[in-house]
Amino acid sequence: MQSLIEAFLMEKGTREFYSHASEISKNAEARKMFSELAGWEAKHMDYIQYLYQAMQGDIEAQTFDEFNKTANAPVTEAGIPVKDLKSRIDKYEITDEMGALKLAMEVEGKAYNLYLKLSRDAKDANARVVFRDMMEQEVKHVEYLKKLRLKLGGTG
């Protein structure tokens, strides 16, 4: 259960980062990409919340919604503090798609590695399944970013 809470908080931190990146990106395509990634992270949060509540036998969302509103999520799923990523964006201003893609791919790649480690270290079989599913989601994100990079003329 603790692993689900930690995964939820990391997804929340990543969503906050992508939302911030979308807000400050000067390029419309970068804004759109970060906004879409933030939406995906929100869906991951919903999924983890559902799993948590199902495992607890708690179908009432109110308590978890309160937790979501008040919980501090200082670290992204990539294991990088949100404040560090925000400062990188603020310092270097994402004005082109390739810069945005590079940063997003770094975050998603590190997130995959984190979920891989968590799945290997998990003692509970249910937690391993959840972390493997999250790894698959990160692979989808990376594939999306690779296709976007090819569309924009970058190398695969």
Apex CA 21: angle with CA 18 and CA 22, to 5°? 85
Beta pairing partners, 75: 81
Q: Which long-range contacts (CB under 8 A, 24 or more apart) does 122-126 make?
A: 122/3, 124/3, 126/55
pLDDT at residue 105, as a whole number: 86
Mean pLDDT (the chain, rounded): 79
Between 133 and 24, the more confident residue is 133
User: Which domains, and CATH codes, for the chain?
Assistant: 2-151 (1.20.1260.10)
Asked whether 89 and 119 are in contact (CB, 8 A), the reply is no
Asked whether 150 and 156 are in contact (CB, 8 A), the reply is yes
Tell me the CA distances in angstroms from 144 to 30, 35, 78, 126, one per residue in order. Answer: 13, 14, 17, 27
Q: Convert the pLDDT of each residue in 85-136 to its tens digit.
A: 666 665 555 666 677 778 888 888 888 988 898 889 888 888 788 889 889 9
pLDDT at residue 36, as a whole number: 92
pLDDT at residue 13, as a whole number: 86
pLDDT at residue 58, as a whole number: 63
Q: Which of 19, 25, 33, 38 is nearest to 154 (CA)?
A: 33
